[in-house]
Amino acid sequence: MSKVFTLEALAKFAQCDFVGNANHAVNYVNSLESATSNEVSFLANLRYKDLLPMCQAGIICIDPSIPLIEGKNFLISSNPSKTFQIITDLILSTAISGFEKIHPTAVVHETVKYAEDVVIGPHVTIDQNVSIGKGTKIYANTFIGSNVVLGENCIIYPGVVIREHCILHNRVILQPGAVIGACGFGYITDPSGHHHKIPQLGNVILEDDVEIGANTTIDRARFKHTSISKGTKIDNLVQIGHNVTLGKHNIIVSQTGISGSAKTGDHVILGGQAGVMGHIEIGDHVQVATRGGVSKTIKKPGQYGGSPLQPFQDFNKNRVHLRNIEKYIKRIEELESRLQALEKLITK
């Protein structure tokens, strides 16, 4: 069962003010309209302020500009959404699993080094010479290959695969089914048309505060590193090829594919189903819309869309023209008909 937190304790943890019963206790979170007396909720958008009088939440995170309602418990901060997220992380981190320490079904090689507060769940397999930092949690049915390094306070959810020699820094989160360090897609085709595998001898490095979504795959480099820099967040079902380097604080949305040896700068956003060709570079602060196709290097910051890619303003204009293509065709046909009539008159 999850732990219980009082209003006063949560205010201290989130470093904000509170109003109400300091001893009121909660153990979960929920939406404003669905929360009950043992749950925390939040109001960050004034469009939903009419729900506040009817809300049954035990504790509500709000902005100081919102009038308080007597008899309810509030956490007051300039950013109630952030306060709610801090509390959510606290509550869910204590409730995610009932397993603690090293589960007896886990298979851990004798050479593995780990801190005392590490959690290794049921049926986890950890190969030789792995190092695991303090506070890291590895949940059920995960495989960790030899010589992997896991930093502090990482969360490895069930069914993850981390292959040999990969390195995860601190506070990395891997959602279920993520595969880190599979072989890059490299083959040599001989004259007879047969494909021969090229060995992939490098690894994957995930820096501090990187999060990888469910069933996302990041391939190991051929010789050196596939690298995901600090703070980058990658959604579910993303494919990242070998030798790719992603900059700091990127956002990569679901079903995006990034081909081998591509490189992004910092604060890059790739919308869902975007595609990036290999061996090109995307500069800092570039945003690519959904299904954008990046086939050439982009250095200028800004918003882009379409395939092939173009500045987003041009992309929107072209989409408008495409929607009106039938009107344009009819207009052209009418003009051609009138022109032909005029030509007949002139020839007479």
Q: 242-301 pLDDT, tens per residue?
A: 999 999 999 999 999 999 999 999 999 999 999 999 999 999 999 999 999 999 999 999
Residues 176/140, Cβ–Cβ less than 8 Å: no
pLDDT at position 218 over 90? yes
CA Rg value for the chain: 27
Averaged pLDDT of the chain: 94
Q: Answer whether residue 122 shows pLDDT above 90.
A: yes
Q: Answer yes or no: are the C-beta atoms of 279 and 262 closer than 8 Å.
A: yes
69-74 contacts: CB < 8 A, separation 24 or more? 72/20, 73/7, 73/18, 73/19, 73/20, 73/21, 73/24, 74/18, 74/19, 74/20
pLDDT value for 316: 77
Q: Give the pLDDT of residue 315.
A: 81
Mean pLDDT calculated for residue range 213-230: 97
Q: Provide the pLDDT confidence category of residue 194 given band limits of 50, 70 and 90.
A: very high
Instruction: Specify the pLDDT at position 82.
Output: 94
Question: For residue 197, what pLDDT is reported?
Answer: 95
C-alpha pair distances (Å), 339 with each of 107, 329, 331, 333, 347: 83, 15, 12, 10, 12
311: helix, coil or strand? Answer: strand
Q: Are 93 and 111 in contact (CB under 8 A)?
A: no
Question: Each residue of 290-307: pLDDT tens digit?
Answer: 999 999 999 999 999 998
> For residues 229 and 33, which has the higher predicted lDDT (pLDDT)?
229
Tens digits of per-residue pLDDT, 40-70? 999 988 888 888 899 999 999 999 998 899 9
User: Which residues, 6 or more positions from 56, have their beta carbon under 8 angstroms from its beta carbon?
Assistant: 35, 36, 37
Bridge partners, 217 (sequence order): 179, 239
Inform me whether the pLDDT recorded for 1 exceeds 70. Answer: no
**Per-residue pLDDT, 116:** 83
So what's the pLDDT on residue 95?
62
Contact in structure between 162 and 130 (CB atoms under 8 Å): no
Helices 80-95 and 7-14: crossing angle, nearest 10°? 110
Q: Specify whether 279 is catalytic.
A: no
Give the pLDDT band (50/70/90) at residue 2. low
* Identified catalytic residue from 109, 242, 279, 285: 242
Least-confidence region, from 72-76, 98-102, 183-187? 98-102
Enter the pTM of the model. 0.81
pLDDT at residue 313 in the model = 82
Q: Which of 317, 243, 307 is nearest to 271 (CA)?
A: 307
Please give the pLDDT value at position 323: 85
Q: Reply yes or no on whether the pLDDT at 140 is more than 70.
A: yes
pLDDT at 129 over 60: yes
Kindly state the percentage of the chain with pLDDT values over 90: 80
Helix (H) or strand (E) holding 317: helix 312-323
